[in-house]
Every structure is written in structure tokens, then in C-alpha cells.
Amino acid sequence: MTPPREDDLPPELLAAYADGELPPDLAERVARWLAADPEALRMGDEQAGLSPTNEFLMDELAVPMPTPREWAACQAGIRGELAKPRRDYWGVVYVAAGLAVAGVLATVWLGALNHRFAPLALVLPTEESDEEMLVLASPGDVEILSMHEEASSLLLVGDVPWDEDVVLAKAHELEYIGVGSDADGRFPAVPTDPTADDAPLLWAPAPP
């Protein structure tokens, strides 16, 4: 049986060899390779020169360490930050998004009783982004009915906790499928051009 050729070893192993990270059997193969191949030896020396095993290099590259006073300030900063009560912004967002969705569903359900429909969510380009967003509602459309006590401290009384529209998804995250009219013609077909300014995507009942 032919033993494996040492010069078939990948050169990346020279890094691990220089750092002493190879298992003994593989390290022995690399050592034989280095003994037989001057080019591999040159590359191996380059790797060893920039390895933490090069004590002279590590002495030369020692970084200027902070003073005790600077360490104390850093430690005090950490303690101070960790002592602050954390604000769970995502919790507020989840609660608000849940309320908005619940509001949409309630509106759909109520409106269905009246068989009257109006566009609620539109695909609109936003000013800050080139991507179209599926806007679910504007802040004025949302009324907060209840909120977890921990999140309530973040709000001014009666204010919605954001200034932007509630965005359900980016346009490219959606798959547009045709929606035809129902038997009474109350559902117009959904346009397949999501960039149209007034392209209705979701329809909800209008208030009575």
C-alpha cells in the first residue's frame, strides 16, 4: 500500500502546525513535508513568524494596557449599565402589532356584517427605503386597549409608541396572487403591480 504523499497536504495546515494545533500524527506528516520541501518550509516559517508561539513577536506587539484608574472607570460603567432597568422595546412592538392585527380582524368581522368594504392596507414606497412596504396602519389608526404593565411605563398617556406606519412586510416578501370578485362583486381583483401608489392588497370593511 502506498503511503500518503506529504506534499499533498493543504498548505493551510502549516498555520495549525505553527500554532501547535495539530494532532500528533498529522503534525508528524507536516514535519516530514517541511523537511523535504524548501517551499513548504519557507511558508511554514512565515506562519510561525506571526504565530503567538513567537515570544519575541508577542513582546514587540504588546498593547499599552489601561491604568488602574481607567479599569476602575470601565468596571464602574459596566456595573452602572447593568443596574439600569432594561426597556423591552420589542415587547412594546409585539404588543402593539398584536393589537393592530386584532383591530384589523375585528374591523373585518364587523364590516362583513354590513357588506361594505374599503381598502385598509396599501403597498406604498417609503421615503427611507427603496423597498415597498405593506403598510398595515398609520399611528392614528391604532387605539391601545390594553398593555402589559411592564411596557406601559414607556408610553405617554394616550400616545401610540411610534411615529411611523405599522408595516406588515416588505413587498418582496409577499407573493401576489390573483383575488377575484366575489359573487356580489364586492372584492375587486388585486392589482399585480405592487408599485402602484394605490394598489389595494387587503380589503377590510368600511365603518358603518
Partner 1 sequence: MRSVTGPTTTDGDDALLARHRAGDALALNALFLRHRDAAYRVAYRLLSHKEDALDAVQDGFVKAMQHIGRFEQRSSFKTWLMRVVSNAALDFGRARRRRDQLKAAAGGQLDPEPPGHEPQVMLEGTELRERLDGALQRLPEQQRRTFVLHMDGGMSYREVAEALEISVGTVMSRLFYARQKLKALLADRVPT
Contact residues toward partner 1 (CB under 8 A) are 11-16, 19, 21, 43, 45-52, 54, 56-58, 60-66, 70-71, 73-75, 77-79, 81-82, 86
Q: How far is the CB of 50 from partner 1 (least distance, A)?
A: 4
In the structure grid, which three cell numbers stand for residue 21, read together?
494545533
Q: How far is the CB of 51 from partner 1 (least distance, A)?
A: 8
In whole angstroms, what separates CA 41 from the centre of its chain?
44
Rg (CA), the chain: 32
Q: What's the rounded Cα separation, in Å, for the pair 165 and 158? A: 17
- Order of strands, sheet of 200-205, starting from the edge strand that comes earlier in the sequence: 166-170, 132-137, 117-125, 200-205
Q: How far is the CB of 32 from partner 1 (least distance, A)?
A: 19
Q: Which is nearer to partner 1, 72 or 102 (CB)?
A: 72
In whole angstroms, what separates CA 86 from the centre of its chain?
20
Cβ atoms of residues 31 and 58 within 8 Å: no
Q: Which is nearer to partner 1, 44 or 111 (CB)?
A: 44
Q: Which is nearer to partner 1, 56 or 178 (CB)?
A: 56
Q: Which is nearer to partner 1, 60 or 193 (CB)?
A: 60
Q: Nearest CA to 86 among 10, 154, 167?
A: 154
Q: How far is the CB of 48 from partner 1 (least distance, A)?
A: 7
Q: What's the rounded Cα separation, in Å, for the pair 45 and 75? A: 41
**β-strand 166-170 against 132-137: which pairing, if any?**
antiparallel
Q: How far is the CB of 55 from partner 1 (least distance, A)?
A: 10
Q: Which is nearer to partner 1, 49 or 98 (CB)?
A: 49
Q: Which is nearer to partner 1, 23 or 140 (CB)?
A: 23
Q: How far is the CB of 151 from partner 1 (least distance, A)?
A: 18
